[in-house]
Amino acid sequence: MKILAIESSCDETSCAVVENGRICHSNIVSSQIDIHTRFGGVVPEVASRNHVMAIDNVVNLALNTAGVTLKDIDAIAVTYGAGLIGSLLVGVSYAKGLSYVTNKPLIAVNHIYGHIASNYLTYAELTPPFICLLVSGGHTAIIKVTDYNHHEIIGNTLDDAVGECFDKVARVLGLGYPGGPKVDNCAKAGRANIVFTKPDNLGYNFSFSGKKTAVINYIHNLQQRGQNLPVNDICASFEKCVVDELTEKTIKACKNYKINKIVVAGGVSANRQLRAQLTNAAAQNGITCYVPDMQYCTDNAAMIGSAAYYQYIAGIGIADLTLAPNPSLSL
């Protein structure tokens, strides 16, 4: 079954052709990073307008790269939430139009299920159950994924998402947007010699706003004293305190629920320290850790095409022309 998938929830316009949830024939991503950089972050209205301008070319390129036409496609999938309302509207409207003119089924996909499915594209042998560590710009959670379409949230952030903190720390350090990859790069050149964290008693839940504030206060203190900022060391220390907490709680969840597979999902899965530290800690505990291929870590349509396949064969999320985007769609 070949699915044409569309993703436009934030600042990437993407279209992919994915077969049977596992084989990616094309995955075109048109990023708006250059457009939003001068504003220091994503401007929603600017994002929507650029999706409108890009989507036709992106879809045609995805079909051409896959060597197929719309006649070869069995269903159309689209991200309908969560995300920016204007951005989502562009993808959802386009997908509804395609479904209408081709008379092919329309599958509505939750963006976060897409991030989890990015691992099915990377590892042909991977099947649920597993413990998923979800680390994105809007979410941080530990999820017990029991089947392709069933899960239980066992831990959640009580305040900020981890990606949001990376972006904020980068902004205060003047590193710019998008912050995560910039902090990742600086951290590689620094030493984790500043302590920003203390043990918590939150169980499987997370709290990141305290860490973020500790980093910001540290920076402001040095600035007020007119001292140079050890940018690389601050990044390495912040990253360490976040990754330590994510690693420790994910391993604990695996042991407690007796599951020996970890799957990492969401944009922060691109973070090199997290990938290395979690993979090592898992191996020491007899657990296999799956991290998505770099091309599937941040927003892309291939992951939506994969999630859509498993929904379709289970009869879940089949939509019609009344489909509306849901900017605050939950897990």
Distance of closest approach, residue 124 Cβ to ligand KG4, in angstroms? 23
For tokens 């690693």, name the residue. 247
Return d(Cα 155, Cα 307) in angstroms, integer.
22
Please choose, out of 66-74, 130-138, 224-232, 322-330, the segment that lies near ligand KG4 by the rule CB under 6 A.
130-138
Residues present in the chain in total: 331
- Positions in 153-172 near ligand KG4 (CB under 6 A): 163, 166-167
Distance of closest approach, residue 9 Cβ to Zn ion, in angstroms? 7
Between 276 and 324, CB nearer to ligand KG4: 276
Please choose, out of 37-45, 127-135, 296-304, 313-321, the segment that lies near Zn ion by the rule CB under 5 A.
296-304
Q: Residue 190: which of Zn ion, ligand KG4, none does it interact with, CB under 5 to 8 A by kind? A: none
Distance of closest approach, residue 29 Cβ to Zn ion, in angstroms? 12
Return d(Cα 112, Cα 12) in angstroms, integer.
15
- Helix axes of 231-257 and 179-188: crossing angle, nearest 10 degrees: 100
Site for ligand KG4 (CB under 6 A): how many residues? 20
Q: Which residue is closest to ligand KG4 by CB?
A: 267
- Positions in 212-271 near ligand KG4 (CB under 6 A): 266-268, 270-271
- Positions in 269-298 near ligand KG4 (CB under 6 A): 270-271, 298
Q: Residue 138: which of ligand KG4, Zn ion, none does it interact with, CB under 5 to 8 A by kind? A: ligand KG4
Contact (Cβ atoms closer than 8 angstroms) between residue 161 and residue 139: yes
Residue 299 touching Zn ion (CB under 5 A): yes
For tokens 């939950």, name the residue. 330
Residue 134 touching ligand KG4 (CB under 6 A): no
Distance of closest approach, residue 138 Cβ to ligand KG4, in angstroms? 4
Distance of closest approach, residue 134 Cβ to ligand KG4, in angstroms? 9
Residue 300 touching ligand KG4 (CB under 6 A): no
Residue 251 tokens, joined: 């391993």
Amino acid 185 reads: N
Distance of closest approach, residue 102 Cβ to ligand KG4, in angstroms? 28
Instruction: Collapse the DSSP code of 112 into the 3-class scheme (helix H, G, I; strand E, B; otherwise coil) and give the result.
Output: helix
Between 66 and 299, CB nearer to ligand KG4: 299
3-class secondary structure per residue, 267-316: HHHHCHHHHHHHHHHHHHCCCEEECCCHHHCCCCCHHHHHHHHHHHHCCC
Instruction: Collapse the DSSP code of 318 into the 3-class scheme (helix H, G, I; strand E, B; otherwise coil) and give the result.
Output: strand
- Looking at 128, 181, 292, 325, which residue binds ligand KG4 (CB under 6 A)? 181
Please list the residues that pair with 140 across neighbouring strands.
135
Residue 48 tokens, joined: 């929507």
Contact (Cβ atoms closer than 8 angstroms) between residue 4 and residue 305: yes
Neighbours of 102 (CB within 10 A): 15
Dihedral, CA of residue 116, residue 120, residue 126 and residue 129, to nearest 10:
30
Between 26 and 298, CB nearer to ligand KG4: 298
Return d(Cα 5, Cα 15) in angstroms, integer.
6
- Looking at 86, 208, 299, 303, which residue binds ligand KG4 (CB under 6 A)? 299
- Looking at 86, 138, 190, 325, which residue binds ligand KG4 (CB under 6 A)? 138
Residue 180 touching ligand KG4 (CB under 6 A): yes
Contact (Cβ atoms closer than 8 angstroms) between residue 140 and residue 164: no
Please choose, out of 145-153, 173-181, 245-253, 323-331, the segment that lies near ligand KG4 by the rule CB under 6 A.
173-181
Residues in touch with Zn ion (CB under 5 A): 299
